Amino acid sequence: MSRMTVPWAPASTTEEHLASWARHRELQKLLFSGGFAGICYPSEYGGQGLSRAHQDAFNDECADYEMPWQITGASLLICAPMILEMGTEEQKQKFVRGAISGELVLCQLLSEPSGGSDLAGLLTRADRDGDTYIFNGQKTWSTFAYAADYGTCLVRTDWDAPKHRGLSMIIVPINDPQLHLNRVRMVNGDEEFCEEFFTDLVVPAENLIGTENDGWTVASRQLFYERQAVGGASPYASGRARNQGFMASVPIDELARSVGKADDPATREFVGWAHAQDVVMEQLVHRVSTGMASGEYPALASAMMRLNHAEIPQQKQDMMLDIAGSLAVLGDAQGDGYLQTIGVNYLMRQGISLGGGSAEMSRNMIAERVMGMPREMAADRDVPFREVRRGR
Ligand SMILES: Cc1cc2nc3c(=O)[nH]c(=O)nc-3n(C[C@H](O)[C@H](O)[C@H](O)COP(=O)(O)OP(=O)(O)OC[C@H]3O[C@@H](n4cnc5c(N)ncnc54)[C@H](O)[C@@H]3O)c2cc1C
């Protein structure tokens, strides 16, 4: 493993993406063989069984090294923790151990074209047939599904039950010929998103997580781990190297100096505000995590961290664009792409308030489930799903 030179330009072609995934799997295997993978995961499933303090110390040490941050995303921060909590012993041995060791990569198959916020209104179906389920339907916005081996897929298994009570979470193989996958090009030119079409895809019933038709309980736990990850509080976040990945971070004070605005009063105010927000975010994560662990706050309080990680980074992107001005598009004389990162990041700013559940849905959760305000009106609650009116 080597210290890295900062890659300002993300991989963009399909070949570059595939090469980068091959490298990340290799790095994860190297970490596993060295006893550094899955630091907070239990040792019986391939982890190290150590504490958050050990993980933090490791993260500090490896900040300047090339790390498999793509694998650390949905695979190890969201899907594997959910399987660890809700899966059978066989599922944990296969999927959790597989993810930690770098043998398997997992992705999330939740959102559908009909809408991600109303997740319980999904339309993809899985019909039980003996020891198997037959899948038909479509998923979308699945991050890095093209590089994954399996996806945790929320589907409808009972159309006569109300919408939250007829769902099941089932692990599907991505590389099956009955699953057709397309890459989706984003505004920054990247192709990490995918959409998947299932046509009579046959999946063994042993891949069901939890109980049939109780998939909402399982999905709620997966969404908890996602909010925890997006909110910056996951104990499983390992070796997120500085300046790597989607929206590689550019320190705001470094940016001010590089465009000659270090003495500009308005810019100095931005820099001060940004540093204050970093401290607030850190304290908020600590306070909410401690409150959830002690039972003082419900699990849905994780929406507070998620919301903060939507609002603050977006405001920072806006300020950075102001500081960089036209250089965010034109770049500087060195032509190394450093300043254009600000422009490309700005294009992606809206994604921060959607991925991991939208900022508005986080506000709803905080209002209804943390502050106890009245629930939003839902005409489809308690109505058999097949009778729920929906657009074509
Ligand atoms: C970077 C990124 C990564 C993602 N990765 C994945 C992934 O790996 N797997 C996956 O399954 N999905 C993924 N998604 C999809 C994501 O979960 C959805 O984008 C999100 O849940 C919103 O759903 P939607 O885009 O369908 O918007 P919609 O649900 O159609 O919502 C559109 C707008 O309406 C607002 N809205 C909707 N309902 C309400 C309401 N009741 N009250 C107030 N406002 C409301 C929303 O906040 C949003 O602004 C990803 C998205 C992004 C941006």
Over residues 243-275, the pLDDT tens digits come to 444 445 678 888 899 899 999 999 999 999 999
Q: Are residues 77 and 142 in the same domain?
A: no
How many domains would you assign to the chain?
3
Ligand 1 centroid distance, CA of 118 (Å): 9
- List the CATH number of the domain containing 93: 1.10.540.10
Q: Does the Cβ of 351 fall within 6 Å of ligand 1?
A: yes
As a whole number, mean pLDDT of residues 349-368 equals: 92
Ligand 1: atom nearest CA of 357 is 21
- Of 142, 181, 187, 358, best ligand 1 pocket probe by most atoms within 8 Å of the beta carbon: 358
In a domain, 392, yes or no: no
Name the band, by pLDDT with cuts 50, 70 and 90, for residue 336. Answer: low
Same domain, 24 and 50: yes
Instruction: Map tokens 């100095």 to a residue.
Output: 268
Q: Which atom of ligand 1 is nearest to the CA of 359?
A: 47
361 lines ligand 1 (CB under 6 A): yes
pTM of the predicted structure, to 2 decimals:
0.92
Q: Does residue 73 lie within any of the structural domains?
A: yes
Environment class of residue 379 by beta-carbon count within 10 Å: exposed (0-12), middle (13-18) or buried (19+)? exposed
- Dmax over CA atoms of the chain, in Å, equals 71
Among 92, 196, 98, residue whose Cα is nearest residue 144: 196
* Residue nearest atom 23 in ligand 1 by C-alpha distance: 116
Ligand 1 in reach of 337 Cβ (< 6 A): no
Q: Residue 39: pLDDT above 80?
A: yes
- For residue 382 the two structure tokens come to 């308690």
Do 181 and 84 sit in the same domain of this protein? no
The 10s digit of each residue's pLDDT in 277-315 is 989 999 999 999 999 999 999 999 999 999 999 999 899
Structural domain includes residue 322: yes
CATH number of the domain enclosing 269: 1.20.140.10
**For residue 140, which of 186, 181, 103 has the smallest C-alpha distance?**
181
Residues 263 and 193 placed together within one structural domain of the fold? no
* Cβ of 362 below 6 Å from ligand 1: no
Q: Cα of 350 to ligand 1 centre, how many Å?
A: 11
With b for 16 or more beta-carbon neighbours within 10 A and e for fewer, the 173-208 pattern comes to bbeeebbebeeeeeebebbbbbbbbbeebebeeebb
Same domain, 59 and 93: yes
Quote the mean pLDDT of the chain: 90
What is the Cα 359 distance to its own chain's centre? 14
User: Within this chain, do residues 79 and 111 fall inside the same structural domain, yes or no?
Assistant: no
- If one compares 190 and 296, the residue with the highest pLDDT of the two is 296
Q: Is the C-beta atom of 114 inside 6 A of ligand 1?
A: no
At residue 244, what is the residue type?
Q
Domain interval for residue 128: 107-225
Using the atom order of ligand 1, give the atom closest to the CA of residue 350: 53
Classify strands 150-156 and 106-109 as parallel, antiparallel or unpaired: parallel
21 plus 93 within the same structural domain:
yes
User: Strand locations in the chain, DSSP E?
Assistant: 106-109, 125-129, 132-143, 150-156, 167-173, 179-184, 193-204, 208-209
